[in-house]
Amino acid sequence: MTEKAKNIVILISGAGSNMAALIKAAQEEKWEDLLGARVVAVISNKPGAEGLALAQALGVPTQVLDHKDFESRATFDAALQALIDTHQPALVVLAGFMRILTPDFVTHYAGRMVNIHPSLLPAFTGLNTHQRAIDAGCSEAGATVHLVTTELDHGQILAQAAVPVLLGDSAETLAARVLVQEHLMYPQAIKDFLQKLIPA
């Protein structure tokens, strides 16, 4: 293991349930001792994001960079990149970060930025994934952890979890069952990815 800590920065826009699952796993499984990795910051583009208080309660510093304060997507992403880089991240984790990122930003973190998407990619990229799965008559839905690339929801798949689509499912009931699996899968996928960053 290298001496330098593998700092993890998590980006959120909302409730932060996947963020909380990651932080709890890192703390309970002692990632800092095992992997030399720790969550050093949670950053939100929304000042009122519920996940900010949740992160603080779990002992992780938070920062807010309101995208509404910037005149363009590019200027926001440049400021966000500068803020993230103050933490010297080994890994940037998107956990319900509801922004489409510019190619320059994505390229800067190539190979070290991870997202979780609520579908079994390559099916149903983009939004409204659960309703689209129901409408398409799918027998299964789920979630995918993947590396972020400049093509939306098309990066290398790191992990997937499937759940059955049940008769009478709504987008909300299906999303709730998928989210349970996300909370289990995302921390494990991040842990597995970090282990690959440790030199033999």
Mean pLDDT to the nearest integer, 172-181: 98
Q: Is 98 among the domain residues?
A: yes
Q: Is 69 among the domain residues?
A: yes
> What distance in Å separates the CA atoms of residue 153 and residue 126, rounded to the nearest whole number?
7
Token code pair at residue 75: 């200027």
Report pLDDT for 155.
95
Element (H, E) at 158: strand 157-164
Question: Which domain, by its residues, includes 12?
Answer: 6-196
166: left (phi over 0), alpha (psi -120 to 50) or beta: beta
Mean pLDDT to the nearest integer, 110-114: 97
Q: Is 77 among the domain residues?
A: yes
Mean pLDDT to the nearest integer, 9-15: 98
Residue with tokens 């909300």: 172
Give the other-Cβ count within 10 Å of 114's Cβ.
24
> What distance in Å separates the CA atoms of residue 56 and residue 54, rounded to the nearest whole number?
5
- Is the pLDDT at 1 greater than 60? The verdict is no
Q: Is 79 among the domain residues?
A: yes
Quickly state the pLDDT bin for 196 (edges 50, 70, 90): confident
Report pLDDT for 200.
45
Give me the catalytic one of 67, 117, 146, 183. Answer: 117
Q: Is 179 among the domain residues?
A: yes
Q: Is 82 among the domain residues?
A: yes
Kindly report the pTM of this predicted structure.
Answer: 0.95
The structural domain count of the chain equals 1
Q: Is 15 among the domain residues?
A: yes
Report pLDDT for 5.
81
Assess whether 117 carries a catalytic annotation: yes
- Is the pLDDT at 198 greater than 70? The verdict is no
Report pLDDT for 68.
97
Q: Is 1 among the domain residues?
A: no
Burial 25-61 (b: 16+ CB within 10 A, else e): bbeeeebeeebbbbbbbbbbbbeebebbebbeebebe
CATH number of the domain where residue 187 is located: 3.40.50.170
Report pLDDT for 4.
67
